[in-house]
Copies of this chain bind each other. A is one copy, B any other.
Amino acid sequence: MQEFMIPLNSKSELPLYEQICEYIKTEIQQGHLKAEEKLPSSRTLAKSLSVSRSTVELSYDQLVSEGYLEAIPCKGYYVCNIQGLYTFSKKLGDEKRISKKEEDKARSDYDFALNGIDAQGFPYNIWQKLSRRVLKEADSSLFQLGNPCGEQGFRQAVADYLYQARGVHCNLEQILIGAGNDYLLMLLGTILDRSKTIIMEDPTYLTAYYDFLHMGFQVETIEQDNNGLSVRELEKTGGEIVYVMPSHQFPMGTVMPLSRRMELLSWAGEKEGRYIIEDDYDSEFRYKGKPIPALKGFDNHDCVIYMGTFSKSLAPSIRVSYMVLPVRLMKQYQEQKHLFSVTVSKVDQKILELFLQEGYYQRHLNKMRGIYKGKHDFLLKYLREEMSQICQVSGEYAGVHLLLTFCNGLTEQEAVIRAKAAGILVYGLSEYCVYGNPNTSCKVLLGYACMREEELSQAVKTLKKVWEKK
């Protein structure tokens, strides 16, 4: 048994028991204390260090729990063999998965990413100004827990915006604020009957698909045609809840025409308990035709659950989305005891409220529409000039991505691989299919939000070269 001379510092931020722990641990790690060696009793060590016995006991307990010591009843504490000791040095799966993607991105010259925004367009100055103002004017209430549905002022601003921009008539009390659509879907999952099947299009926004699965819902997918989700197919499923993106279906880019919207709404109105979840994720950006109001704008049976977000229009990292619930669903939600606390900070809610109310959002949207329309037109022109023999463009009427369908026999996989080899990331449609539909196997997606015009033209030139040769 070894004598310990542990240099304890009573003024250290590290508690005494931790200092003892650390010392012994280091001794073991460096091999000064060998496996199976016996440690002094807690009484002896406490005495020699002039600390209480419980301090030493706490250290020993800690070391036992970490696997450095073993306590043998009636005998004492012994050093363990630490060869097999569990350490946290292994990377876990996810971080690897993320870094794989990051690696791809870092290696590529151009990335037609689908979830990006034009970060240059972010209104830094206004945001900073409003942020300063909110913090400066902050009274203590800004730091108290707020309304679980979101602050009333912010929800009113969202309601006003939805009325003006999307033709949605709703009361602030139908609105729930949340940190992203995933979260809002989770909230929705606590209201909807989990025994019901969710009907989705295929291909679709897979994140929502998996959100529903994670929450324990059954999900069934159906086909879509050129006008979007087929209501006839929907009827065949017998399902009662359907998830759609009528403004710009992801990933197909279809804008659902008014007639189909009306057909879908009639379907929902026909039977009690039917709901349409309308994900209006990038409706702010349209390039052709007059704006079509959201489904929710025509929702006279009050059965549309409307979801909107600032992720596409402002920045995904802002983490603010909103959901307009039918009155009866909102009632149901609010009759639950103890509502989930809101997930967006009051500061952010207040900044966004001012941003909307004082006209900054409108101006920002106009600016971004201009930016994206510029990129959109530029990319389209280039694609038509350079690629008309190779592929056809679709889904280009709205949003910030479009689809290419190859007409020269190139497969999706080949197109993606050839592009990647040339330093360009494009995304195969089958990545967004629940079941790898063979019909969709010769399409790739190009998101153009993050790309500058010169990058677009360079990338298209290169893509032409690598996609041209058979």
A residues lining the B interface (CB < 8 Å): 13-15, 17-18, 54-55, 58, 61-62, 64-67, 86, 88, 91-95, 97-98, 115-117, 119-120, 122, 124, 127-128, 131-132, 135-136, 138, 140-149, 164, 167, 169-171, 173-174, 178-183, 186, 190, 194, 206-207, 209-211, 214-216, 258, 262, 265, 290-291, 293, 297-300, 302, 311, 315-319, 327, 330-331, 333-348, 362
A345 partner, pick from B178, B181, B317, beta carbons under 8 A: B317
Q: Contact check, B65 vs A298: say whether CB atoms are below 8 A apart.
A: yes
Which residues in B have their C-beta under 8 angstroms from that of A290? Answer: 15, 17, 54-55, 58
Which residues in B have their C-beta under 8 angstroms from that of A67? Answer: 300
Which residues in B have their C-beta under 8 angstroms from that of A54? Answer: 290
Q: Contact check, B343 vs A345: say whether CB atoms are below 8 A apart.
A: no
Q: In chain B, what residue has the closest Cβ to A189?
A: B215
Q: Contact check, B18 vs A167: say whether CB atoms are below 8 A apart.
A: yes
Q: Contact check, B117 vs A143: say whether CB atoms are below 8 A apart.
A: yes
Q: Contact check, A300 vs B64: say whether CB atoms are below 8 A apart.
A: yes
Q: Which 8 residue pairs of A and B lie closest in terms of their CB atoms, listed nearest first?
A: A119-B140, A94-B334, A179-B343, A88-B171, A143-B315, A145-B316, A65-B298, A317-B346
Q: In chain B, what residue has the closest Cβ to A57?
A: B258
Task: Given the known inter-chain contacts A61-B298, A171-B88, A343-B180, please indicate yes or no for A93 contacting B335, CB distance below 8 A.
Answer: yes
| Closest beta carbon of chain B to A182's beta carbon, Å | 4
A94 partner, pick from B58, B149, B302, beta carbons under 8 A: B149
| Closest beta carbon of chain B to A237's beta carbon, Å | 23
Offer 22 A-B interface pairs, CB within 8 angstroms, sorted by A.
A18-B167, A65-B265, A65-B299, A88-B169, A88-B327, A92-B327, A92-B330, A92-B334, A93-B335, A94-B148, A94-B339, A98-B148, A117-B143, A131-B131, A144-B315, A145-B317, A179-B183, A181-B341, A190-B214, A190-B215, A319-B345, A348-B348
